[in-house]
């Protein structure tokens, strides 16, 4: 009689639970295949780590089992299934401090992938559902203050007479969503942002910008978009939503406030952060400092010789606002990433004569193709009708270790290249330099690696194919002239406007600017997987480096990513901050220490 998926998954999980209860780390590790991955988001390691292979898993369990005390393992009813020789199922469990959820995949009776992810802190749950606050005290109460009066007092006190537990630098999507998570957990958090209003980071982008991710993939926690919301959100609509969200979630935000320097006082266990609020210097002393300044650092503008002599207008893509003033004028866009294509197309729509200078090869995938193969699998009306809501889709995505993604994506992109072969042929015939990643793994892996160029095509590629956006590729800029851009093949591109769509500094540059170069060096690379590809140096880390987890600087945290990542990992980060506020022990397991020890032993 063939065993069912539920019986196979249940038996494996029961055996794991038994060996964990016995403190048998080696026995538990033996349940994993030679090629196996355990992705832990807090319950065992109090970090975001992936353990690869039985040896790393055994070392982690030997260190963490005595303090994590995992119990109550149980399958989620009806979640087990079998497909292509793989048995998978969802389960729940608890540790001494956390309630958690997990996912397993079995091959030939052994575990291939395991996800364990924290859901909530025991005894410190969000006040939601049946635990929601009353909001009013019925009866006659002398001197009663209204909600508005209380809210104004609370907001006025934070950062002045009462210091925040957490200071979040950056009021974009990352800072706002994390602020909402912390608010729900009762953590006093202050968000500071240099811009005048929440959402201005989106509003200040170029006029026609729309998000490239579909609506099902960009919901914010607690307040999903209404069901009439467009599939692709215009940037001003997104800015308005973020501002409304910040108000509805009762976030404490100091707008028009710039952080000028930060220093960690180890003796006091707090930060000293100098900020300027509406021109007035203020010193803040939070316990925890979160940089939520986006995925990258400051705009990166090449230091081209002669740039100061240019007689027209030049700006970085981040400062470009629109092309209305350039009808009939000559515009050069240097770069070939998403912003470069979008800006070139917007300038063309305004009647400008546009030339794109492509300095290196770029991955291009048509938006409808990308959605069909990726976004619509988990985030779509079809997924919702199949019972896969946003949270479940996020957990499914999180259950896939990064190490397995390249092979999976290579197969998908091989199919994409066949489907859109004529499109790619025409693009290359126009002179465009294409790539699909150094390892042919496509856009998704490029996004996870540092400094990699890509474009989700929403129309600019057809303009390049038709020659309506001129293209200069396989060239470099040699210098900027008063009248335009000189290339190393001798060509001069006359220009009234030069837009540098040349990317951004790495995210660690914010650490260097705000705190110190020494701190940035100690923290190390931010973002990227250590894949060993161009601009993503090794060693392999198995996770996005330093994101949403403890860094090598006490009290310093990094929050960023696209809206889907911000939504999912903000809970993981918020739970860590809440645990530290409540004095809950959070001993961190770092697999890098194990890898270094193994390497040393082999010498």
Q: What is the CATH number of the domain that holds 372?
A: 3.50.50.60
61 falls within a domain = yes
Q: Which segments of 122-214 are extended strands (E)?
A: 166-169, 189-192
What's the pLDDT score for residue 601? 53
521 shares its domain with 408: no
Strands 288-291 and 556-558: parallel
Picking from 433, 467, 500, the residue at the C-terminal end of a domain is: 500
Query: Maximum distance among all alpha carbons in the chain?
Result: 84
141 falls within a domain = no
DSSP labels, 315-353: EEGGG---SGGGTTSEEEEE--SHHHHHHHHHHHHTT-E
The reply to whether the predicted model has a pTM over 0.85 is yes
340 shares its domain with 384: yes
593 falls within a domain = no
User: If residue 13 lies in a helix (H) or strand (E), which one and from where to where?
Assistant: helix 5-21
Distance CA 359, CA 356 (A): 9
518 falls within a domain = yes
CA–CA distance from 549 to each of 23, 48, 67, 282 (Å)? 26, 6, 19, 28
139 falls within a domain = no
What's the pLDDT score for residue 1? 35
167 shares its domain with 315: no
- Contact criterion met (CB below 8 Å) for 383 and 215: no
Give backbone dihedrals phi and psi of 152, rounded to 5 degrees, phi first.
Answer: -65, -40
312 shares its domain with 191: no
User: If residue 101 lies in a helix (H) or strand (E), which one and from where to where?
Assistant: strand 98-107
240 shares its domain with 353: no
193 shares its domain with 326: no
At 59, list the tokens. 């070392």
What's the pLDDT score for residue 537? 84
Strand order across the 556-558 sheet = 253-254, 189-192, 166-169, 288-291, 556-558
88 shares its domain with 180: no
Long-range interactions of 259-263: CB distance < 8 A, separation 24+ = 259/169, 259/192, 259/514, 261/514, 261/515, 262/289, 262/514, 262/515, 263/515
54 falls within a domain = yes
Q: Which segments of 122-269 are extended strands (E)?
A: 166-169, 189-192, 253-254, 257-265
- SS in 3 state form for 557-583? EECCCCHHHHHHHHHHHHHHHHHHHCC
What's the pLDDT score for residue 324? 94
35 falls within a domain = yes
197 shares its domain with 311: no
Number of domains present in the structure of the chain: 3
- Which residues neighbour 261 within 8 Å (Cβ) at sequence distance 6 or greater? 273, 274, 514, 515
Distance CA 456, CA 366 (A): 6
Distance CA 52, CA 19 (A): 19
Residues of the chain with pLDDT below 70 are: 1-2, 295, 375-376, 443-447, 449-452, 593-603
516 shares its domain with 492: no
Strands 32-41 and 110-121: parallel
What's the pLDDT score for residue 2? 58
Query: Cβ atoms within 10 A of the Cβ of 26, count?
Result: 12
- Contact criterion met (CB below 8 Å) for 114 and 53: no
327 shares its domain with 275: no
85 shares its domain with 154: no
- Domain of 43? 5-124
491 shares its domain with 344: yes
What's the pLDDT score for residue 593? 62
Eight-state DSSP code of residue 371? I
What's the pLDDT score for residue 451? 54
Picking from 471, 500, 529, the residue at the C-terminal end of a domain is: 500
Q: Is 219 left (phi over 0), alpha (psi -120 to 50) or beta?
A: beta
**Does residue 539 have a cis bond before it (omega within 30 degrees)?**
yes
96 falls within a domain = yes
CATH code of 88's domain: 3.10.450.50
- Which residues neighbour 151 within 8 Å (Cβ) at sequence distance 6 or greater? 250
CA–CA distance from 169 to each of 150, 163, 284, 286, 455 (Å)? 25, 15, 12, 12, 29
- Contact criterion met (CB below 8 Å) for 23 and 71: no
What's the pLDDT score for residue 123? 96
- Which residues neighbour 519 within 8 Å (Cβ) at sequence distance 6 or greater? 511, 512, 553, 556
At 2, list the tokens. 């063939």
């Amino acid at each position: 009689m063939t065993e069912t998926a539920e019986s196979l998954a249940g038996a494996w999980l029961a055996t794991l639970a038994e060996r964990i209860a016995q403190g048998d780390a080696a026995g538990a590790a033996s349940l994993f295949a030679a090629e196996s991955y355990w992705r832990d988001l807090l319950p065992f390691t109090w970090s975001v780590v992936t353990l690869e292979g039985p040896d790393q898993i055994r070392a982690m369990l030997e260190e963490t089992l005595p303090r994590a005390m995992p119990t109550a393992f149980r399958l989620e009813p009806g979640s087990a299934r079998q497909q292509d020789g793989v048995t998978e199922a969802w389960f729940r469990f608890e540790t001494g401090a956390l309630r958690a959820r997990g996912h397993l995949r079995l091959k030939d009776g052994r575990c291939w992938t395991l996800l364990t992810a924290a859901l909530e802190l025991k005894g410190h749950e969000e006040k939601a559902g049946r635990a929601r606050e009353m909001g009013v005290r019925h009866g006659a109460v002398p001197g009663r203050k209204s909600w508005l009066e209380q809210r104004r007092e609370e907001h006025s006190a934070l950062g002045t007479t009462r210091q925040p537990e957490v200071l979040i630098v950056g009021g974009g999507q990352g800072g706002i969503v994390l602020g909402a998570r912390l608010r729900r957990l009762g953590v006093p958090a202050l968000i500071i942002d240099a811009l005048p209003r929440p959402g201005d980071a989106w509003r200040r982008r170029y006029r026609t910008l729309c998000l490239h991710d579909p609506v099902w993939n960009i919901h914010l926690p607690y307040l999903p978009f209404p069901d009439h919301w467009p599939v692709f959100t215009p940037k001003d609509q997104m800015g308005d939503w973020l501002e409304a969200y910040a108000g509805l979630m009762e976030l404490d935000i100091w707008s028009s406030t710039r952080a000028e320097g930060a220093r960690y006082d180890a003796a006091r266990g707090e930060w000293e952060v100098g900020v300027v609020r509406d021109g007035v210097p203020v010193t803040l002393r939070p316990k925890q400092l979160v940089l939520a300044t986006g995925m990258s650092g400051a705009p990166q503008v090449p230091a081209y010789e002669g740039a100061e002599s240019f007689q027209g207008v030049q700006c970085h893509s981040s400062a470009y606002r629109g092309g209305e003033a350039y009808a009939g004028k000559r515009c050069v866009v240097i770069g070939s990433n998403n912003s470069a294509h979008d800006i070139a197309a917007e300038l063309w729509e305004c009647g400008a004569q546009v030339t794109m200078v492509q300095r290196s090869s770029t991955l291009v995938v048509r938006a409808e193709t990308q959605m069909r193969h990726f976004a619509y699998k988990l985030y779509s009306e079809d997924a919702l009708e199949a019972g896969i809501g946003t949270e479940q889709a996020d957990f499914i995505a999180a259950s896939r270790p990064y190490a397995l993604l390249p092979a999976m994506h290579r197969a998908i992109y091989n199919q994409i290249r066949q489907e859109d072969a004529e499109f790619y042929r025409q693009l290359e015939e126009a002179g465009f330099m294409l790539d699909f990643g150094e390892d042919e793994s496509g856009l998704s892996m490029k996004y996870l690696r540092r400094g990699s160029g890509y474009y989700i095509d929403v129309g600019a590629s057809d303009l390049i194919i038709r020659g309506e956006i001129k293209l200069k590729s396989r060239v470099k800029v040699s210098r900027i002239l008063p009248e335009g851009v000189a290339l190393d093949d001798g060509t001069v591109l006359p220009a009234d406007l030069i837009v540098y769509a040349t990317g951004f500094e790495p995210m660690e540059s914010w650490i260097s600017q705000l705190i110190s170069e020494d701190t940035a060096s100690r923290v190390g690379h931010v973002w990227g997987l250590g894949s060993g590809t161009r601009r993503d140096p090794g060693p392999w880390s198995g996770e996005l480096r330093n994101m949403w987890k403890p860094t090598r600087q006490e009290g310093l945290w990094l929050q960023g990513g696209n809206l889907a990542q911000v939504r999912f990992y903000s809970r993981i980060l918020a739970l860590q901050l809440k645990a530290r506020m409540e004095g809950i022990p959070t001993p961190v397991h770092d697999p890098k220490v194990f890898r270094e020890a193994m390497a040393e032993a082999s010498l």
